[in-house]
Amino acid sequence: MVFLVSDEVRPKNGGPRMIVTGYASGMVECRWHDGYGIKREAFREEELQRGDGRQRHEKA
């Protein structure tokens, strides 16, 4: 599955909803707010699924 910058995603094994901020070294870079501050982490594409929110890049 291909994710675009600003897509909402979440880890398949559970976790917070995150925003895709870029790609580096074949990894998807994501950021989210944990209630205290901004967190960031890189994931393999196969570890992620689309989030519950509406995707900004969908065509009607």
Asked whether residue 30 is assigned to any structural domain, the reply reads yes
The 8-class DSSP code of residue 35 comes to S
pLDDT of residue 37: 97
pLDDT of residue 54: 53
Alpha-carbon dihedral angle through residues 57, 19, 11, 27, given to the nearest 10 degrees: 90
pLDDT in tens, 7-50: 999 999 999 999 999 999 999 999 999 999 999 999 999 999 99
Asked whether residue 26 is assigned to any structural domain, the reply reads yes
Nearest CA-CA partner of 51 in 29, 27, 19 = 19
Amino acid letter at 49? Q
pLDDT of residue 60: 43
The residue segments making up the domain with residue 39 are 8-50
pLDDT of residue 2: 86
Least confident of 1-5, 9-13, 43-47, 52-56: 52-56
Nearest CA-CA partner of 42 in 58, 55, 26 = 26
Asked whether residue 40 is assigned to any structural domain, the reply reads yes
